[in-house]
Amino acid sequence: MKRLLPLTLLLALAPALAQPPAAAEPRFSSGWRFEQHGGAALYGALCAACHMPDGRGARGAAAYPALLGNPKLATTPYLLHMIVNGNKAMPGFGRQLSDEQVAAVASHVRQRFGGLDEAAARVTPEEVRALRPPPPPPANAASH
């Protein structure tokens, strides 16, 4: 009976422990697009669970690199590529985020964690658009 008490307690608390904070829950519109538009809100919904709210990254079941002080954040194309396309365990969010949203979260990350001032950290939607992969050809396109 003594052995069952900790297990019962763990099972009772598991659903509460597994829930992310309410503020970090992503909100979707129709078509699986995120509703958040501000850089901080998008970071909280998409990035903070792995890279942590303070940007220090984490180690556990996987390694989540730190954003805080990461020199790669100074390179806009690198950061945009990671957000849009992902890499290895990092998912790409290019299909769920507009150019404006990618620019907002990239600007936020560069300013908050990259040590850049607001003007230097700013990423434009045009920069995002220029780095996105071209759309696939229509399915009904003739291949003659």
**How much is the average pLDDT of 3-22?**
45
pLDDT of 34 strictly over 90 = no
Q: Are 114 and 48 in contact (CB under 8 A)?
A: no
Domains and CATH numbers, the chain: 23-131 (1.10.760.10)
pLDDT digits (tens, 9 = 90+) for 35-70: 778 999 999 999 999 999 999 999 887 889 999 999
Question: pLDDT tens digit string along 80-131?
Answer: 999 999 998 899 999 999 999 999 999 999 999 999 999 999 999 999 999 9
- Determine the longest span between alpha carbons in the chain, in angstroms: 74
3-state DSSP helix/strand/coil percent for the chain, to nearest 5?
50, 5, 45
Please give the structure tokens belonging to residue 132: 């996105």
Q: Is the pTM of this model over 0.75?
A: no
Candidates 20, 25, 71, 21; CA nearest to 45 is: 25
Q: Which residues does 71 contact at the CB level (< 8 Å), separation at least 6?
A: none
